Structure 1
Amino acid sequence: MDSYLREFDATVRAVRDEGVVLDRTAFYPGGGGQPADTGMLTDAEGNTYRVVGVKRLDGQIVHLLEGDARPALGAPVHGVLDWERRYLLMRTHTAMHILCGVVWRDYGAQVTGGNMEPGRGRMDFEFEHLHKDLVQEIEEKINAEVAAAREVRVAILPREEAFQIPDLIRTKINLLPPHIQEVRVVEIVGLDLQADGGTHVANTREVGAIKIVGYKSKGRINKRLMIALEEGL
């Protein structure tokens, strides 16, 4: 998937009650805590269809359309992402990986969960103690990684090769179902490496300033950090 692809041409391969399946798409169907894309489809007659969500159903990527109108089976359509929202999600997702990388590198705390929306996100870590001074320290460190302009790379690795990489083992790659024989990995060069299916920016400097806007205890050794980008404040 080219995360920077904003629009594309496709053909309607199936029409369902929920929406349509296309022969190709740039819409991300959601997953790994990242919400699905939204946007617009336009057919050859100029009819427009608002894409309000995307999800995987029965092995297909279904574009959920607003209202009852549907483009015809076999019709060519032009898809356009809501780019402002998508790009903000890309920046947010990379910010989450920066946070994860810093917390593991400097404090040895593994991530236990997370979720995001455009411009904001939360991550849970295996921290026993978390306090104001430590949170401030983490915020300074993650913004230093943004300023470091680290390259963000995406690669597809054979399952067995991926299973030999310690950083991927740490992120519980062993829990992947046996039928998955290729693993998509996202690397923030020099900081973080994770199995991940989402969309990201190409360089950490694109993320912009990150603010830790809150933290709380979710259990004895489970602490939550909430972040926001400048647009999310």
Structure 2
Amino acid sequence: MTELLYQKDSYLKEFEGEIIEVNREDKTVILDKTAFYPTGGGQKSDTGVLVSGDKNFKVINVKKKGDKVLHYIEEELPTVGMKVIGKINWDNRYKFMRTHTAMHALCGVIWNEYKGVVTGGDMEPLKGRMDFELDNYSFDKAFVEDVEKKVNEEIQRDRAVKVNILPREEAFKIPDLIRTKVNLLPEGITEIRTVEIEGLDLQADGGTHVASTKDIGRIKLVDYKSKGKNNKRIYLEIE
């Protein structure tokens, strides 16, 4: 099992690890621990480099497979047992942290004001989109402008963002922990990671986040679309 360092510390830019498995056909390596975030939850993977002595192994993609994290290497592969220093592409990671937390702030406002559950979402650095199930609301420019105003007000309150890893049974005692229409958490998971924006939002989530909402910056809801009778899409960007 790979120890997932990013789950406890999103600000970890470098880490020491050991190569425990190499797949030469797929050009992937597995480490005993990693701070590289694998693609998931609408968030793209980290990129970066594994360094051993004078050798640099470029990490171009990261995916999770069961309890292992596959690091895709661009050219020459390291060998099993090699000690490496992993270095994250921090500029890209931090943009994703800001974006992911912004989407949680949007989710918190939509849930608290309108009880809208999430039906989908995706993100790129400093922009993203979220789909919500919204019943009996006029989904128009005035609605979206009001939501934008409320989200930015919450962001400027400098709310702390806290991460916890809880036993499954304890986590599911939290009301409304799952904000998606479909529960995407596998049955076999014994521990649930939660992300809380104090006083605004609390949900199960595996992504990386900033420590305070003020670190997000200001958001702009740049577009909106109706994707069906009750399914509404909102696009955001971070200024």
Same fold (TM > 0.5): yes
Gaps of 5+ in 1: none
Residue 90 of structure 1 corresponds to which residue in structure 2?
Answer: 97
SS at match of 2:15: strand
1-structure distance, mates of 2:178, 2:131: 18
- Shift of the alpha carbon at 1:108? 2.0
Work out the CA distance in 2 between the residues paired with 1:139 and 1:100.
11
Matched, 1:51 2:54: no
The Cα shift of 1:61 comes to 0.5
Contact 1:186 1:193 in 2 (8 A): yes
Q: Aligned partner of 2:107: which letter?
A: C
Query: Quick one: distance in 2 between partners of 1:176 and 1:22?
Result: 24
Paired with 2:47 and 2:220, the residues of 1 have a C-alpha distance of 26
CA RMSD of aligned residues (A): 1.5
Are 1:108 and 2:104 an aligned pair?
Answer: no
SS class of match (1:79)? strand
Deviation sequence 1:9-31 (CA, Å, 0-9, x none)? 11111111332111111101121
State the 1:54 CA deviation: 0.4
Matched-pair identity in %: 55
2 CA distance for matches of 1:59 and 1:157?
A: 18
Candidates 43, 64, 68, aligned match of 2:72:
64
Matched with 1:211 is 220
Q: CA deviation at 1:115?
A: 0.9
Q: Specify whether residues 60 and 221 from structure 1 end up closer, same or farther in structure 2 by C-alpha distance, changes over 3 A only.
A: same
Does residue 1:179 correspond to 2:188, yes or no?
Answer: yes
Q: CA deviation at 1:220?
A: 0.6
> In the alignment, does 2:17 pair up with 1:31?
no
**Partner of residue 221, structure 1:** 230
Q: What SS class does the counterpart of residue 4 from structure 1 fall into?
A: coil
Matches of 2:191 and 2:66, distance apart in 1: 20
1:189-232 Cα shifts (integer Å, max 9, x gaps): 100011001100110000001011110011110010000112xx
CA distance in 1, matches of 2:66, 2:122: 24
| 2:11 is the counterpart of 1:4 | yes
Deviations 1:135-166 (A, max 9, x none): 11111111111100001010111111122211
Unaligned runs of 5+ in 2: 1-6
TM-score by length of 2: 0.91
Q: 1:164 aligns with which of 157, 173, 183?
A: 173
The question of 1:21 aligning with 2:14 is answered no
